[in-house]
């Protein structure tokens, strides 16, 4: 399978895995507190809760000491969460832009679904954070007994240049234009400057998804890795509704003897997505794919490991929203130590916090459950067809 188009890869990167908010937010806030020149933060959700206030205060403190601070949040994703944080940031010298603000007269426009779903922070052009974690407390959700399960990475090295170029490009468009479909342009393919090696030197690359020239880049990276898999694929995804090519690629890998383990959302968060995902279980189980429902809390991860070497952490789910509509960003890493660490975290979650979905049990589920599954599948297919994505 040929290589996908991507922002350039770079060696000599220090890439560190961060699991859940407990590891992510202390690292993010410490980096913000150490900033001397510029902070650029993009998030789908910025919540006015304890964690959001801590991040906001760190950004305000940075602005007060003369750091240029830019924040971009999504108009739909943050609409019910942002509270007074927008006003608070603006009143204290932070530059704020909203990606596609919610407006009543635009609610029926197809372009309204083209959201900014990525989560990126770049500080002083020297460190970047990227992954699936929004600026929201891990316990800010229904039944908050345990934190939501998610990942991000901190990254130093030459690849930071490409990530910063992506945030710069989006900021310029939001700052100078009212974003429209015609202005939803591709991100630049700037070649990073190679820096001196780090102790944790790793080969990594950065891929985005937009609605012009990077439409399928993240999906293509997955398909290449799955197509080249020799022994094992581990994939954890919060909202898993892959298209035909992706499903066929997984099934073909299983036929080659590759062990495939999927860690998926066990709790019902959104009923349509929940049951649409389950409409695929029978086919995948019949092909020999292992499925494990994460039940300890809400799964929000978008990560994968292939052959204990290739790994990805990012914002992109494997569903139509992420693969066909939203702006997304993932980091890909070719490194055995990093991949092994992520694999170990996923194995712990499978072993301790998940329930295996057994084919025999799945076939005996209730008629009501079967009906909900196929109703959801039909609704989802119909909605995709109305939006012009019915062949995905």
Catalytic annotation, residues = 117, 119, 124, 300, 302, 307
CA distance 164 to 174: 15
Q: Six-digit token pair at 228?
A: 């080249």
Taking the CA of residue 137 as centre, how many other CA atoms within 13 Å lie in the half-sphere pointing to its CB? 15
Contact yes or no for 279/375 (Cβ under 8 A):
no
- One-character DSSP codes across 117-158: --EEEEETTTEEEEES--BS-TT-SSSTTSPPB-EEEEEEST
CA distance 130 to 231: 28
Residue 323's nearest CA partner among 236, 227, 210 is 210
CA 249 to chain centre: 21
Strands 38-43 and 68-74: parallel
CA distance 130 to 27: 12
Contact yes or no for 322/392 (Cβ under 8 A):
no
Enumerate the H helices of 317-366 as residue ranges. Answer: 320, 336-353, 359-363
């Amino acid at each position: 399978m040929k290589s996908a188009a991507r922002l350039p890869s770079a060696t000599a990167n220090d890439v560190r895995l961060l699991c859940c908010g407990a590891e992510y937010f202390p690292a993010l806030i410490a980096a913000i507190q150490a900033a001397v020149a510029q902070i650029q933060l993009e998030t789908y959700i910025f919540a006015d809760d304890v964690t959001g206030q801590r991040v906001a205060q760190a950004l305000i403190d940075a602005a007060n000491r003369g750091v240029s601070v830019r924040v971009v949040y999504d108009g739909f994703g943050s609409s019910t969460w942002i509270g007074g944080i927008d006003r608070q940031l603006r009143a204290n010298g932070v530059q704020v832009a909203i990606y596609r603000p919610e407006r009543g007269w635009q609610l029926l426009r197809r372009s309204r679904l083209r959201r900014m779903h990525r989560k990126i922070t770049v500080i002083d052009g020297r460190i970047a954070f990227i992954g699936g974690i929004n600026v929201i407390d891990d316990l800010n959700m229904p039944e908050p007994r345990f934190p939501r399960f998610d990942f991000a990475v901190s990254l130093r090295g030459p690849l930071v240049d490409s990530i910063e170029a992506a945030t710069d490009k989006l900021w310029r468009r939001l700052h100078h234009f009212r974003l429209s479909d015609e202005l939803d342009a591709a991100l630049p393919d700037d070649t990073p400057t190679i820096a001196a090696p780090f102790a944790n030197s790793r080969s990594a690359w950065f891929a985005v998804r937009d609605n012009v020239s990077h439409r399928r880049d993240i999906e293509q990276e997955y398909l290449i890795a799955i197509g080249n898999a020799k022994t094992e694929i581990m994939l954890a995804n919060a909202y898993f509704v892959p298209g035909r090519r992706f499903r066929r690629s997984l099934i073909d890998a299983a036929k080659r003897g590759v062990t495939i383990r999927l860690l998926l959302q066990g709790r019902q968060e959104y009923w349509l997505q929940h049951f649409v995902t389950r409409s695929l279980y029978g086919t995948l189980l019949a092909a020999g794919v292992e499925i494990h429902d994460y039940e300890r809390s809400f799964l929000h991860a978008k990560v994968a490991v292939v052959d204990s070497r290739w790994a990805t952490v990012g914002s992109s789910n494997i569903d139509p929203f992420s693969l066909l509509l939203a702006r997304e960003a993932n980091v890909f890493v070719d490194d055995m130590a990093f991949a092994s660490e992520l694999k170990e975290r996923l194995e712990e979650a499978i072993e301790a916090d998940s329930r295996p979905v057994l084919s025999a049990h799945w076939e005996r589920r209730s008629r009501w459950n079967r009906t909900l599954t196929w109703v959801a599948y039909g609704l989802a297919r119909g909605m995709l067809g109305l939006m012009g994505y019915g062949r995905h």
